[in-house]
Amino acid sequence: MIKNDIWITEKAQKGMISPFESTQIRHIENLPVISYGLSSFGYDIRLSPVDFRIFRHIPGTVVDPKNFNPENLESTKLHKDTNGSYFILPAHSYGLGVSLEKLEIPDNITVICLGKSTYARCGIIANVTPAEAAWRGYLTLELSNASSADCRIYANEGIVQLLFLEGANCAVSYQARQGKYQDQPEIVTLARV
């Protein structure tokens, strides 16, 4: 069953989402923002301003998830203007960011991350990724720019929506099996095997 705002609030007050916004935030100091916070059946997390990296083409190299070369990614500058702080995701490129919120997922919950429609309408695709039962840390977020134009990706504003799905307790949680992405810090975590 998908969990509602009442359940999300109760669990957030016990540390499931930190920091937690109990309403949808759409404006800060009268300026519009890409919404974040609690919704009816989900929670929109924000992109951290701490780390955003873009894949770059290195002639003669292949990205290998079993032997990931960190030099295939380059850090991106955080820009600021009257609209807010943002990174630029170039046309037809792929970037990795990290959530501003830290998560601690309960043992009987799996979380699905879905892209926000505001970004989808600009050609930004957020890969659907799970946060499994008993996972904790800062999510590394995977974003594709499918458009032929560069796109601003705003820090400290909504980036993906989390949907919380409840099931019976599993025999072995992500924490119990010592999953390789457990306790991710607030920086981009590279592919691991």
Count how many Cα atoms sit within 13 Å of the Cα of residue 45 in the half-sphere of its side chain.
30
Q: Which backbone phi and psi does 164 adopt, to 5 degrees? A: -105, 120
- Among the listed residues 101, 142, 166, 186, the single catalytic one is 142
Q: Is 74 a catalytic residue?
A: no
Per the CB < 8 A criterion, the answer to whether 72 and 55 are in contact is yes
DSSP string covering 80-114: EETTEEEEEE-TT-EEEEEEEEEEE--TTEEEEEE
The widest CA-to-CA distance across the chain, in whole angstroms, is 52
Active site amino acids? 142
